[in-house]
Amino acid sequence: MDQHSSATARIFLGMSIALLLSGIALLGMVFFVLPTAQTHAAPLPSPTIIQPTPTSLPPTETPTLSPTATPLPSPTPTSIPDSFYITGITGHQQVYHLGCEASASVDWANFFGVPIYEYTFQVALPHSDNPDYGFVGDVNSDWGQVPPNAYGVYAGPVADLLQQYGLPAQAVKGYTLDEVKAKLAESKPIIVWVIGNMEGG
């Protein structure tokens, strides 16, 4: 790669990060994919049957206490650090003009140890005229259009496809910027959908 290409790639990466953060702040409604907690329940012990034993004394009356209100504990606010760095996540230059969803998805999958080729992921996405159901348009078309023209895909179909690879993906809408920061502070990388062409503010 020559110096011009390397510098262009760095500028593109920097602008992409700036676009991502600006989009989160400006959009107000955020769509993204984040890992879900995976828990495994421990087996429950077998029930023990207890038979009452007869007693020769008659039961005594137990005084009934009046219920009293128990104050609920106040929630402990979660502290969001001023900055946080997730290690072990890498990126690459996207292959297709409108393939940012597939490009980000394969980088996210790689973080969890599942390598996927961008082409394989892109062609496995369903197609639709509605981005909530599948990829809209031709992945090599110009961006900046609206459905039914070439557009892309939203988080739902992307999360569904990532789950087919055994990944803990979940599509979520409406997270606030603080909720996004909190997930990142848990070392959980996320993919965020933002509006395009946000250069310059």
Domain spans in the chain, listed from the N-terminal domain onward: 3-36+84-193
For residue 110, pLDDT over 50 is answered with: yes
Please count the CA atoms within 13 angstroms of the CA of 113 that sit on its side-chain side.
1
User: What are the DSSP calls for 147-165, one per residue?
Assistant: TTSS-B--HHHHHHHHHHT
First CA to last CA across the chain, in angstroms?
30
Name the residue type at position 88: G
* 163: region left, alpha or beta (phi > 0 left; psi from -120 to 50 alpha): alpha
Q: Tell me: the pLDDT tens digits for 11-63?
A: 444 444 444 444 433 333 334 445 554 444 445 455 555 555 555 656 566 66
Q: Which of 120, 114, 88, 93 is nearest to 104 (CA)?
A: 93
Q: Which of 188, 190, 191 is nearest to 38 (CA)?
A: 188
For residue 190, pLDDT over 70 is answered with: yes
pTM above 0.95, yes or no: no
pLDDT at residue 7, as a whole number = 47
pLDDT at residue 27, as a whole number = 36
